[in-house]
Structure 1
C-alpha cells in the first residue's frame, strides 16, 4: 500500500539490476536491505543515449513520469535534471531515504516525489494521478510483470508510454570478469540464486519485450546502444554490495572473506586494477495501439 506518510538480473549477473517491489516476494522491501548507500556510491548512471531516448518519448520537457522500482533515483534524478516531474515508487524505505538525500545534493528535490508502495498497486490509488509515461529501470525482473503492466494501463494517459530500461540488453555479452564473480559467490554463498538474505530468486521465464507485447502497450519500439564502462578494483568490489545476491545483508559475516577473496582474484587477473568492458543497453518502449 501507499505509505500515508509519503515516506527501490538475476543473481547470476554482477551488474544485473536494480530494484525492489513485487507481489512475488513476501517481503520485497528486504530484497535490497543494506544496498542504499552503496547503490548511490557505486552504481553507475545510465548512458546518455538512454536518457536522450527516454526524453524524446515525452510529450513535453516537463512531462509527468512514474518511475517504478526507483531505488535511490538512479534514473529518476537524471530525468528530473532534464526538467521532468517524477514520482518515484519503491518498496524499500531505505532506498527512498537515500533518494531524497541524493536529490537534495543534485538540486532536484522539488522535481521528485517519493512514494513507498508495491508497484502492482499503483492503479489502485487515485491520489497518484495520471502520467505521461512510466519507466522501470533494471527492476522489471523483480516484479509481477503482468500485474504491473495492467496497473500501468490505469495510470498512463492516452498516448503515453511504458519504458523498460536495462543496463545490458538480453543475450548480449556480459563483462569479461563475470564468470569469476559467479564462482566466488558460489564459493561463499552456494549455488542458489538469492533475492536478498535467504530468499530464492524467482527467475522470469519470458523475456521483457514479449511481456510488453502481450500487454495493452503492445506497439513496441526498442533502442539498443553500445557504451563503455571502466571500474577500478575498489569500485568493482563496492559494486557487489549493491546487488541483492552479494549485499552486506546477504553475505552477513561472510562479507569480509568474500571481498578479500574478490580483491585477490581480480588483482591476479588484472594487475593494473582497471576493469573495462563494452556493453549494450536496451530500452523497450511500449505504447497502446493508435486505434485505442
Structure 2
C-alpha cells in the first residue's frame, strides 16, 4: 500500500469526496455513542475524524504511514483517535474494539477471511459497517460513471497507466460487498442511502486523479508535471466551462450476526 499510494495522501485528503454529514451521523447513531470503533483502512481519516466526536473512541488503522501522518495532521483537536499502522492480516494484534467500519478499503482485502476473523473477535452485538458508493450509482473512480472519466481514461492510457489495477488487485472477485456480507456470519443487513450534489473544477479533478493507486505521484515519478498538464488541457478541451456536476449516492451498509 505504501508503494501503491506513494505521495497520494495529501490529494486523497483534499480531493476524495467525504461521505457527508448525514451519512456520518447515521453511522454514529447506528454504532452507538459508547462504541470503540475500528476504522480498518482508514486512509487520512475520512471516516475516523468526523466519527470520533460521536463515539467513545476510534482505532484508525492503515498500512500506509503517509496516510496516518495526514490523518494525524487533519485531526487537530480530536483526541480520541489512536492512529496505528496495520492491516487486515493482523487484527488480533490490535487493541480491543466492538464495532468495525470500512470505507474505500474493503475491496483490497480477503473479504471472506476478514469477516470470519471479525466474527471471532467482535463481542455479542458487534457490527460491521461499510460506507461508500451505493450499488445503484457510481462514484468518480468507477469506470465511466461520470462525464469527465473518458477524458481521464484517455490521458491515463497515453501515459501507460493501468486503470484496471485498482479494480483487480488483491482479492477482488467481482462480487458486490453486499453479497459477500450476506454469505458471512454478518448476514443481517441494513442499508441507508444518502444523496448529494457535488461540483468539480479542473483542479479538483486533477487532484482526484492523483489520489488513485494507479496514478499516484509515486507511480508517475518524474512524469508527474507532464501528466498534470496533459490532464488539465484535455479536460478543458472537452469542457471549456471547466465545471462538472455530480449526483453522489453514498450507502451506509450495516451488517450484524443472526441470532444463534
How far, CA to CA, are the matches of 2:72 and 2:120 in structure 1? 27
Q: Which residue among 207, 218, 226 is the counterpart of 2:176? A: 207
- 1:136 equivalent to 2:105? Answer no
How far, CA to CA, are the matches of 2:31 and 2:211 in structure 1? 30
Secondary structure class of the residue paired with 1:163: strand
How far, CA to CA, are the matches of 1:223 and 1:57 in structure 2? 11
Distance change (3 Å), C-alpha of 1:190 and 1:206:
same
Secondary structure class of the residue paired with 2:123: strand
Q: Is the 8 A contact 2:156 2:163 kept in 1?
A: no
1:177 corresponds to which residue? 148
How far, CA to CA, are the matches of 1:146 and 1:102 in structure 2? 32
Gaps of 5+ in 2: 139-144
CA shift for structure 1 position 191: 4.7
The CA RMSD measured in Å over matched residues stands at: 1.8
How many aligned positions are there?
Answer: 252
2:44 corresponds to which residue? 72
How far, CA to CA, are the matches of 2:162 and 2:16 in structure 1? 24
2:74 corresponds to which residue? 102
Q: Which residue among 8, 16, 21 is the counterpart of 1:43? A: 16
Distance change (3 Å), C-alpha of 1:190 and 1:239:
closer
1:103-133 Cα shifts (integer Å, max 9, x gaps): 12xx10x2100111121321x22x51131x1
Secondary structure class of the residue paired with 1:159: coil
Q: Is the 8 A contact 1:217 1:286 kept in 2?
A: yes
Q: Which residue among 92, 112, 122 is the counterpart of 2:64? A: 92
TM-score (norm 2): 0.90
Secondary structure class of the residue paired with 1:176: coil
Q: Which residue among 244, 249, 252 is the counterpart of 2:218? A: 249
How far, CA to CA, are the matches of 1:241 and 1:74 in structure 2? 17
1:127-174 Cα shifts (integer Å, max 9, x gaps): 51131x1100011111111121122223322112101111x2235242
How far, CA to CA, are the matches of 2:162 and 2:85 in structure 1? 32
CA shift for structure 1 position 181: 1.2
Q: Is the 8 A contact 1:232 1:273 kept in 2?
A: yes
Gaps of 5+ in 1: 1-27
How far, CA to CA, are the matches of 1:48 and 1:221 in structure 2? 19
- 1:187 equivalent to 2:158? Answer yes
Q: Is the 8 A contact 2:38 2:58 kept in 1?
A: yes
CA shift for structure 1 position 51: 0.7
CA shift for structure 1 position 183: 1.7
1:276 corresponds to which residue? 245
Q: Is the 8 A contact 2:162 2:214 kept in 1?
A: no
2:141 corresponds to which residue? none
TM-score (norm 1): 0.80
How far, CA to CA, are the matches of 2:42 and 2:197 in structure 1? 23
Secondary structure class of the residue paired with 1:29: coil
